């Protein structure tokens, strides 16, 4: 399986390209609109056909490239089944599997950061979006977020995966690229030695400023960035 990690320098969003070099089918996870030409150049250089764009949620800090990529490549745009976005080609259900070449993508419903959030599991690689970061997690104080739901998603679902599962987050602000489930269980201060009650209290008192693009990004992403 071909794999490449991109990072948008403005929002620190990670985008992931996965492809089967035999069938030439590819998927992009959490593409950023301003970086679409980079993705297209990579696809062209390898002779790949983009089958899916997979967003983990309706983002508040950047505009998705899913709509533009659909226009340019014919790729299906995918979000979780509880999204309010009506523009997507497919709303994927918890436990549903998509495929590219011989590889399977399992959809895991992980609400908390937003009510529609999903993670994607491809073999031993878990793409966690904003549910789980390296040594952190996404905020829960806007867009219908819920700290209680996020705790259940991470501790009750993601932390039940094999300990050597690779964790690829939706963002990282310190240039960390990958972790594992075991590492996050052992070292992530949001979850390690916390209870659900202490986690909820911690998230309640973060007092973070709103993302700069929230008023632009959310409505744009509800129309796939178009």
Per-residue pLDDT tens digits of the chain, which is 226 residues long: 999 999 999 999 999 999 999 999 999 999 999 999 999 999 999 999 999 999 999 999 999 999 999 999 999 999 999 999 999 999 999 999 999 999 999 999 999 999 999 999 999 999 999 999 999 999 999 999 999 999 999 999 999 999 999 999 999 989 899 999 999 999 999 999 999 999 999 999 999 998 988 999 999 999 999 9
Domain of 35, CATH number, reads 3.60.15.10
> pTM higher than 0.95 for the full model?
yes
**Domain-located, residue 218:** no
User: Cβ contacts of residue 137 below 8 Å, gap of 6+?
Assistant: 113, 130, 131, 150, 154, 188, 190, 191
* DSSP element (H, E) containing 38: helix 36-46
Answer yes or no: is 127 within a domain: yes
Does any domain span residue 16?
yes
Number of domains in the chain: 1
Domain that holds residue 51: 2-207
224 located within any domain: no
| 213 belongs to a structural domain | no
Strand partners, 13: 171
Evaluate whether residue 221 is within a structural domain.
Answer: no
**Is position 43 within any domain?**
yes
Query: Has residue 121 been placed in a domain?
Result: yes
* The pair of three-digit structure tokens given for residue 157, joined into one six-digit string: 């679902």
What's the Cα-to-Cα distance from 137 to each of 19, 91, 199, rounded to whole Å? 27, 24, 11
């Amino acid at each position: 399986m071909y794999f490449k990690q991109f990072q948008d320098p403005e929002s620190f969003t990670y985008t992931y390209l996965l492809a089967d070099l035999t069938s030439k089918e590819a998927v992009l996870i959490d593409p950023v609109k301003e970086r679409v030409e980079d993705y297209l150049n990579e696809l062209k250089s390898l002779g790949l056909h983009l089958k899916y764009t997979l967003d983990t949620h309706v983002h508040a800090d950047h505009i998705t490239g899913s709509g533009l990529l659909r226009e340019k490549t014919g790729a299906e745009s995918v979000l979780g089944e509880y999204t309010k976005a009506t523009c997507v080609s497919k709303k994927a259900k918890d436990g549903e599997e998509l495929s590219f070449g011989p590889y399977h993508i399992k959809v895991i419903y992980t609400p908390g950061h937003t009510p529609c959030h999903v993670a994607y599991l491809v073999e031993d690689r878990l793409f966690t979006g904003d549910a789980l970061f390296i040594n952190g997690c996404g905020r829960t104080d806007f867009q219908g977020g819920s700290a209680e739901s996020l705790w259940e998603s991470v501790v009750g679902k993601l932390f039940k995966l094999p300990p050597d599962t690779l964790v690829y987050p939706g963002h990282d602000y310190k240039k960390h690229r990958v972790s594992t489930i075991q590492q996050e269980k052992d070292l992530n201060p949001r979850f390690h030695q916390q209870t659900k009650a202490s986690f909820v209290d911690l998230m309640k008192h973060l007092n973070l400023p709103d993302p700069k693009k929230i008023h632009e990004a959310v409505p744009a992403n509800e129309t796939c960035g178009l």
